[in-house]
């Protein structure tokens, strides 16, 4: 049942990213992907098929939008999507000067790289690839799974660049990688962005 509007409303802060998708009176609210068939004037309803979720209030004739659920948790966490956290937690990188490329088609059997392949070995159980490129701590590897960019962790295996992916790999998937000589990470220190200098 939708929440009633008979409760005393509480003050809500209004502004950028403050919508919590709760009624202004603080009451619990019904939610779903379709409006109730027989609402009462003043009822609230949260539509879950909207992204972000959207809170509506029935005015007697129609459902009026009240607010979107765009408020985020300000404490650290993997799903913290505030602008601040997006900057601080940004792990994206810009790559330049490619020096090696290869693609691996996933199969259930053992992988045998072609003679001219950049891949030295691939182990499906550990999802790890050892390349023929000599390890250099400044190099970066961009990985794609079926043409979609995925993350990886780079390592040094017997002097060669290696990397491991965490995504599930299925038969006939294509794991593609490019090794770049220049990598610039988008995350930077605030002082670097603002050009701050210590007082002398």
Q: How confident is the model at residue 29 (pLDDT cuts 50, 70, 90)?
A: confident
Q: In sequence order, which residues have a C-beta less than 8 Å from that of residue 40 and are 6 or more positions away?
A: 2, 4, 58
Domain ranges of the chain: 9-74, 93-185
Residue 160, preceding peptide bond in cis (omega within 30° of 0): no
Which backbone phi and psi does 126 adopt, to 5 degrees?
A: -100, -5
pLDDT of 53 above 50: yes
pLDDT greater than 70 at residue 81: no
- Residue 184: what pLDDT? 82
199 pLDDT above the threshold of 60:
no
Q: State the residue for tokens 């997006």.
A: 86
Residues 6+ apart with CB under 8 A from 61: none
pLDDT at 72: 60
**How confident is the model at residue 146, as a pLDDT?**
93
Q: Please indicate whether residue 116 or residue 130 has the higher confidence score (pLDDT).
A: 130
Q: What is the mean pLDDT of the chain?
A: 80
Judge whether residue 179 has pLDDT over 60.
yes
């Amino acid at each position: 049942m939708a929440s009633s509007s008979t409760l005393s409303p509480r003050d809500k802060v209004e502004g950028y990213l403050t919508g919590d998708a709760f009624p202004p009176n603080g009451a619990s609210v019904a939610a779903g992907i379709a409006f109730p068939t027989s609402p009462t004037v003043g009822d609230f309803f949260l539509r879950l098929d909207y992204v972000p979720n959207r809170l509506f209030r029935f005015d007697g004739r129609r459902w009026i939008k009240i607010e979107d659920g765009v408020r985020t948790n300000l404490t650290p966490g993997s799903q913290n999507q505030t602008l601040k956290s997006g900057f601080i937690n940004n792990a994206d990188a810009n790559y330049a000067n490619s020096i090696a490329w290869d693609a691996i088609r996933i199969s259930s059997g053992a992988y045998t790289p072609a003679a001219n392949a950049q891949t030295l070995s691939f182990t499906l159980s550990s999802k790890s690839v050892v390349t023929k490129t000599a390890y250099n701590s400044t190099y970066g590897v961009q990985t794609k799974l079926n043409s979609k960019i995925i993350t990886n962790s780079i390592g040094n295996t017997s002097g060669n660049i290696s990397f491991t992916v965490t995504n599930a790999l299925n038969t006939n998937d294509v794991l593609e990688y490019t090794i770049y000589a220049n990598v610039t990470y988008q995350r930077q220190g605030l002082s670097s962005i603002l050009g701050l200098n210590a007082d002398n």
